[in-house]
Amino acid sequence: MTLLLLSFAFLSISLLCAEEKTIDLPKGTKIEKLGTGNFRFVLPNGQKVEIKGYDSRTGIIGDCGLYDQGKLIMKRNQGNLRGIADPDPPPVKIPRNQTYAVFGGELLDLKTLSKVPKSDYLMIDDDPTWLPATVQFKPEATGKTELSPQPDPPGMKTVKLPKGTKAEKVGQGHFKFLLPNGQTVEIKNYNSSTGIIGDTGVYDQGKLIMKGRQGNLRGISDPDPPPVIIPQNKTYAVFGGELLNLKTFSKVPKSDYVLIDDDPTWLPATIKFN
């Protein structure tokens, strides 16, 4: 009688599995990569789902097996994997060698997951220059201004832009730097890719005290590689094997997604079969 009941229970499970066309991956599911296109999902209840032949671009799965305590209880093919609330647009992928990113007009430190204080840099057309910085140019007039402590190159004058300097964009290649001491440095025809300045003027209480041409702008410790520029329409980014929320600049809890070859799928998710 006991053997008959066990046989009937096994038959019921087999029939149920035969009819099942979806597998749910709830929040808290973890992932293990076994090979190219071959992944294992570990569900919170201890069951494991193994997929093969997975294409992350389409979400299509070649083969899928569901295991309970190491025993195969369901096998399917020709399925697809879909997160219930995958974001649109997709997350931007940031190279692992990056340290900084520019997003929403601010400089982000990706290693410490913090915003760099605005007093530490100038943002010029989404191109950050670290402070302190220097403006060097060939002078056409002399006057009193805050010069750098180091000797000037022959025929050049150097104006120091200390921490706390602010930038205002006046027009294309045209900027004003407001120094903490109240002076203003105005540059024109600035090329952010080369750092070259066409014309420079230094003002004290609105009065021009020095002007020059053929100058350059240099941050003392600009990072290498340069910060990555993240499009404004992005909400999430993948960096260092984790998903970042760019709006709050915080890590998304790992229980909320699985990362498949740097392609996040939000949980809960489902695997559906034809």
More confident residue, 246 or 86: 246
Q: Give me the percent of the chain exceeding a pLDDT of 70.
A: 86
**pLDDT value of residue 12:** 36
Residues in contact with 1: Cβ distance below 8 Å, sequence separation at least 6, in sequence order: none
DSSP state of 53: S
Q: Pick the closest to residue 211 from 139, 120, 135, 124 (CA basis).
A: 139
More confident residue, 138 or 146: 138
Residues 175-191: tens digit of each pLDDT? 999 999 999 999 999 99
**pLDDT value of residue 194:** 87
More confident residue, 151 or 193: 193
CA angle 88, 99, 107 (to 5 degrees): 70
What distance in Å separates the CA atoms of residue 38 and residue 55, rounded to the nearest whole number? 10
**pLDDT value of residue 88:** 73
Mean pLDDT of 110-123: 93
User: Which helix (H) or strand (E) segment is 2 a member of?
Assistant: helix 2-19
Domain boundaries, the chain: 14-87+257-273, 100-219
Give residue 17's pLDDT band: very low, low, confident or very high (50, 70, 90).
very low
**pLDDT value of residue 152:** 55
What mean pLDDT value characterizes the chain?
85
Q: Pick the closest to residue 94 from 239, 233, 224, 236 (CA basis).
A: 239
More confident residue, 89 or 92: 92
Residues 230-242: tens digit of each pLDDT? 999 999 999 999 9
**pLDDT value of residue 107:** 94
Residues 46-66: tens digit of each pLDDT? 999 999 999 988 889 999 999
**Coil, helix or strand for 157?**
strand
Mean pLDDT of 99-116: 93
The CA distances from residue 94 to 59, 101, 183, 207, in Å, are 22, 9, 38, 46
What distance in Å separates the CA atoms of residue 205 and residue 63, rounded to the nearest whole number? 74
What distance in Å separates the CA atoms of residue 145 and residue 160, rounded to the nearest whole number? 9
**pLDDT value of residue 7:** 36
What distance in Å separates the CA atoms of residue 73 and residue 51, rounded to the nearest whole number? 14
Strands in 43-181 per DSSP E: 48-52, 60-68, 71-83, 92-93, 100-103, 106-109, 114-115, 121-124, 127-130, 133-139, 157-161, 166-171, 174-178
**pLDDT value of residue 149:** 46
β-strand pairing of 228-229 with 236-239: unpaired
Residue 84 has pLDDT above 90, yes or no: no
Give residue 151's pLDDT band: very low, low, confident or very high (50, 70, 90).
low
CB atoms within 10 A of CB 260: 18
**pLDDT value of residue 78:** 86
Residues in contact with 172: Cβ distance below 8 Å, sequence separation at least 6, in sequence order: none
